[in-house]
Chain A
Amino acid sequence: MSITLSIIYLIATVTFVVGLKMLGHPETAKKGNLISALGMGLAIVGTIFLAEKEVPLIIYILIGLALAVGGIIGWIIAIKVEMTKMPELVSLFNGFGGASALLIGLVEFNKNIGVPIADKASASIITTIIAAIIIGSITFTGSLVAWAKLNGSLKDIRFPKYNLINNILFIGLVAFGTYIVLMNTDSAILMYSLLAASLVYGFLFVVPIGGADMPVVISLLNSLTGIAAAITGILYDNMVMLVGGILVGSAGLILTFAMCKAMNRSLASVIFGAFGAGSNAAEGSGGTIGGTVKKTTASDSAVLLNYSSKVVIVPGYGLAVAQAQHVIHELEELLTSRGVDVKYAIHPVAGRMPGHMNVLLAESNVDYGKLIEMDDINPQFPNTDVVLVVGANDVVNPAAHNDPSSPIYGMPILDVENAKHIIVNKRSMKPGYAGIENELFYNQKTNMLFGDAKQALTDLVAELKNM
C-alpha cells in the first residue's frame, strides 16, 4: 500500500470518529455527517486511484460504472423516501451493506480453491472469510425480512418450536464454520452450503420477532453490518474498514442495549425469542379484559382540550402511518395560541425505530423543546388535564405495571392513566403491534375517539377553530 493511501485512510478514520462524535449533538450533527461522508469519499477515491499494481482499464471502467449506478440509485432513494418509511429504509441499506460483505467473502474464498497446499491462505484468513460470509448473510436476509415486515408485505411467521430450531441452527452454523476452518478445506460445495444455511438463519432469526422488539432488531442488525465490515477489514489489513466497522458495531450495540433497557428486556430474550412465547399466552388471556368503552366525538374532545391548561400529546406509530404529523402540529399551535400548555411525550421506542417520532415531528416543524422524554414527563401526568394519545398503544399500556402475565410486563411506559382525562385516538379496538389488549381503553377516564388519525385530528382542529 502506498504511503499516500495509508495517510488517506488515516484521515478517513479520523473523520469517522469525529463525525460520529458530532452526530451525537443536535447543533453539530449535520456537519458531523458531512465530515464522515467526506472521509468516506476520500477513502473510496484513494482506493481506486492509488492501487499498487497495474490494473487493466476495463476494470476501472467497471468500477466507475458500478459506482455510478449504485450512487444514483442510493441518491434517488434517499431523496424520495418519506420520513415515515425511515425504519424500512435503514433496514434495506443495512441489508445491502451485509450483502456486500458476504460477496467479498465469497470471492476471497474462491481465490483459495485449487491452490497448492503450500500457497493456501492461513487458518486465520479462512476464519475471517468464513465469519464475513456468515455475518454478512445473516444481516442480508435478516435486514430484508425486517424491511418486508416493516412495510407490511411480510407478517410474523412462527413455526412450531421456532426458538429451538433457530438456536440449533445457530450452533450448527458456528460448528460448520469451525469445521471448514479446521479442515482447511477449499470445497466450494461446503462453502455454498454454509452460505445457504446462513441466509436461511438470517431469515428465520428475524421472521418470528414481532411486536415492540422491531427497533431492537433494526439496531442489532445495524451493529452486525458494522462487524461484517470490520471483519473484511481484517481480511485486507485495512484500518479504515476495521475502525469504521467497529465504530458502527459498538455504537449499534449501545443503541441496542438502550432499546432493550427502554423495554425492560434482555438482549438474549429478544434474540432467542421469549417474546413470541409470551405473547401467544397473552392472546389467550387478552380477551378477558372486559368493561365498556366510552366513545367520544371530535366536538366533545375539542371542548375538553380548549378548556384545559395542560395537555400532553402521546404520538405513536399510528400517527406516522396516517401521515398526521403536520395536523398534530397545527393542533398544538392552535391550543398554544389559546393559552394551553402543550407538550409531547416521547417514549424511547415509540414508532418503529429509536427516535423515529422525533424525526417525524421535526419534519412538521415541531419545536424539539416541546418533545419531552419519558422519565421527565411521567411525573407531570398527575398535573395534566388531558392526555391525547394518537396512534400509540403498547407504550401506554398499564399492563406493563400491573399484569405479571403480560409479555410487556416490566416495560417502562408513559403513565398516562395518572392524568385527569384521557382521549385515545385509534382506528379501531384492534390490539397494537405487540398483539395484546390494553386496559387503558376501558378506564373510566378514557374517551375513545375512533377514526383515522389524520381525519380525526383535522376534525378536531376544525372544531377548535369554530370555538
Chain B
Amino acid sequence: MNTFLEFINENLQLLYILILAIFIGFELIKNVPTVLHTPLMSGANALSGVVIVGAILVMLQSNPNDYLALSLGFIAVVLGIINVVGGFAVTDRMLQMFKKKK
C-alpha cells in the first residue's frame, strides 16, 4: 500500500496528464465515420511508434562498451522507425485514394 501511495505521490503530475490525455483521446476519436477507421488505426499505429524516442534515449545513455544495451537499443530503434515510417507512409497512401475521386 505504501509503495502504491509513494508511486502516486512521485508521479502526481504525470497522472494528471495521463488522465487528461485519455479523455482527449476518447473525444478525438468518438465520432469518426466508419470510412476512416482503417486509416485512423494505421495512423494511430504510426503514432505509437513514438516509443522510438525512448529507444534513442537508451542508445544515447549507453556506455559504448555495453554491447548488450547497445544492441538491444539498436534493434529497438530499427523496429521503432519501421513502425513510424511505415505507418505514416501507408496511411498517406491510403488517404491518397480517398482523395483522388473528388
Chain A residues engaging chain B, CB cutoff 8 angstroms = 16-17, 19-21, 23-26, 29-30, 32-34, 36-37, 40, 43-44, 47-48, 51, 55-56, 58-59, 62-63, 65-67, 69-71, 73-75, 77-79, 81, 83, 86, 89-90, 93-94, 96-97, 99-101, 103-104, 106-108, 110-111, 122-124, 127, 181-182, 218-219, 222, 225-226, 228-230, 232-255, 258, 346, 348, 353-356, 358-359, 362-363, 365-368, 371, 373
Contacts and interface: CB of A to CB of B under 8 A. Distances in A.
A23 B40 contact: yes
A71 B88 CA distance: 11
Contact of A124 (B6, B48, B96): B6
A9 to B, nearest CB: 8
A362 B100 CA distance: 9
Most B C-beta atoms less than 10 A away, residue of A78, A182, A219, A241 = A78
B38 A354 contact: yes
A83 B42 CA distance: 12
A229 B36 contact: no
Contacts of B52: 44, 100
Contacts of B98: 26, 29-30, 362, 368
A358 B35 contact: yes
A20 B86 contact: no
Contacts of B85: 70-71, 74-75, 78
A247 B90 contact: no
Given A70-B77, A83-B97, A123-B6, 13 more contacts: A19-B43, A26-B33, A29-B36, A33-B46, A37-B46, A47-B57, A63-B77, A67-B77, A70-B79, A89-B86, A93-B49, A228-B48, A244-B50
Contact of B92 (A30, A62, A181, A235): A30
Contacts, number: 363
A81 B62 CA distance: 36
B43 to A, nearest CB: 5
Contacts of A74: 81-87, 89
Given A226-B44, A255-B40, A59 B64 contact: yes
Chain A at the B interface: SS class? helix
A110 B69 contact: yes
Interface in B43-102: 43-60, 62, 64, 68-70, 72-101
22 contacts: A20-B28, A24-B32, A33-B43, A40-B84, A40-B88, A44-B52, A48-B56, A75-B89, A77-B90, A78-B85, A78-B90, A90-B38, A100-B80, A104-B55, A222-B44, A225-B48, A241-B54, A346-B34, A354-B41, A355-B39, A362-B97, A368-B98
B53 A246 contact: no
A367 B84 CA distance: 30
B51 A245 contact: yes
Given A24-B36, A86-B94, A93-B87, A16 B81 contact: no
Given A47-B53, A63-B77, A93 B39 contact: no
Interface in B1-20: 3, 6-7, 10-11, 14, 17-18
Contact of B50 (A229, A235, A359): A229
Contact of A40 (B42, B44, B50): B50
A40 B49 contact: yes
Interface of B: 3, 6-7, 10-11, 14, 17-18, 21-26, 28-60, 62, 64, 68-70, 72-101
A71 B81 contact: yes
A124 B12 CA distance: 12
B51 A59 contact: no
With most chain A CB atoms within 10 A of its CB, the pick from B3, B32, B70 is B32
A188 to B, nearest CB: 11
Contact of B39 (A59, A233, A238, A359): A359
A23 B42 CA distance: 10
B68 A110 contact: yes
Contact of B28 (A24, A93, A111): A24
Nearest to A99: B79
Nearest to B10: A124
Given A29-B95, A250-B25, A359-B38, A23 B45 contact: no
B42 A86 contact: yes
A30 B25 contact: no
Q: Which of A17, A25, A235, A359 has the most CB of B within 10 A?
A: A359
Contact of A252 (B31, B44, B100): B44
Q: Enumerate the 3 nearest inter-chain pairs by beta-carbon distance, A residue then B residue, closest first.
A: A250-B25, A355-B37, A74-B86
Given A59-B70, A93-B45, A248-B44, A81 B39 contact: no
Contacts of B94: 83, 86, 359, 362
A387 B85 CA distance: 41
A243 B17 contact: yes
A100 B25 CA distance: 22
A100 B41 contact: no
Given A97-B48, A100-B55, A355 B79 contact: no
B7 A103 contact: no
Contact of B77 (A36, A66, A124, A236): A66
